[in-house]
Amino acid sequence: MSTDVQSVDLNLMMSDENTIGWNLTDLKNVPQNGLKVFSTFACGGGSSMGYKLAGFDVIGANDIDPQMRQHYEANLKPKFFIESPIIDLVRDDLPAELFDLDVLDGSPPCSTFSLAGSREKAWGREKHFREGQAVQVLDDLFFDFLKVADHLKPKVIIAENVKGMLAGNARGYVSAIFNLLKVMGYVPQIFLVNAAYCGVPQTRERVFVCAIREDLFKKKLELNPTQTPISLTEAFADLTIEESDKYYPSKDSQFYKYWSNTPINSSLALAYKKDTGRTGWFGHIKHAPNLPAKTICSAGTYNHWSEPRGFTKQELIRCGSFPDDYQFFGKKIAQYLIGMSVPPKMMQFVASNVRDQWLS
């Protein structure tokens, strides 16, 4: 079985203009195409905002996490929000609109497929994950998502996941997904997309499994993002950041010492090892002003190049292509939510191509 992976390499250049800043209020000006989406594993609505930017009607969402529901409802105001495990959507008493979807969207939690650590050892194990605040076997959730898709029979299925799905033993997992989609009556494809080519100032690579019902299939989908990458200098250019929003560790702190002795576009780990002889601080990155950000994760520290501090909430919002007026509840939730979400501008690119090539 060939998965026909499409990917692009990042060719870093400066973009002609800053196209990253936007607000939720801008969505009212987006021309509507009448296509309906329901989003599962919706988190704070990163993918949903991408569909909205592409003119889709996101009629509702599902997530197991009440904190994510709070953010989704406050910012996106959906017609439906179903707070439950994904498998609970396999039932007949759902709203009628869910049985007439153009797109079923989902981002099954993916930490067991990350390329970091001994990932295979985590496969098939029940664990308590923050992604759902429940004991789950995360590598089963993709198949639970497909059970929901088989129940609802949308025209198109779009699932996002980590690049690690394409590496090593996980390729057998992808083969099983493809085989099941074919049995369900869908024509699947898989793509590796870099967010930096989609208008997101972040080098975030993600896998998208896209499948269309056999009765609607006309041609293969093509996803070839070509937008010039946006540097952090460009992304932050029009931000007004209050000094009170910045946190500067003291000059006698370990962070200040390691940050001062780390070249731009490098991890503080080298300075830490030189100082202590031990390994650590790999998640602390001193970013380059002329490049997009490294991949933003729910953990880690993303540091400024000219000031000894981490990025502010406003800067992280820009790195994730979230709207500037997105409402967060809690001091530390912004990085977690942005790191767990599909960047809206990335999803806008995928959704626009699915709209134009498959659903127009």
Classify 303 as helix, strand or coil.
strand
- pTM equals 0.89
What are the structural domains of the chain?
24-228+343-359 (3.40.50.150), 232-337 (no CATH)
The residues, ordered by sequence, that sit 6+ positions from 74 with a Cβ below 8 Å of its Cβ are 327, 329
For the chain of 360 residues, list the mean pLDDT of each consecutive stretch of 10.
43 45 97 98 97 98 96 97 97 97 91 45 47 54 95 98 81 89 98 98 97 98 97 96 91 96 96 96 96 92 96 97 96 92 98 97
Residue 208 sits at φ, ψ, to 5 deg, of: -125, 120
Q: Please tell me the predicted confidence (pLDDT) of residue 66.
A: 95
Both structure tokens of 317: 């919002």
Q: Please tell me the predicted confidence (pLDDT) of residue 210.
A: 98
Say if residues 231 and 201 touch (Cβ distance below 8 Å).
yes
Q: Please tell me the predicted confidence (pLDDT) of residue 111.
A: 52
Classify 82 as helix, strand or coil.
strand
User: CA 234, CA 228: separation in Å to the nearest integer?
Assistant: 12
Q: Please tell me the predicted confidence (pLDDT) of residue 136.
A: 47
The residues, ordered by sequence, that sit 6+ positions from 145 with a Cβ below 8 Å of its Cβ are 40, 41, 86, 106, 108, 159
Q: How many CB atoms lie within 10 A of CB 274?
A: 10
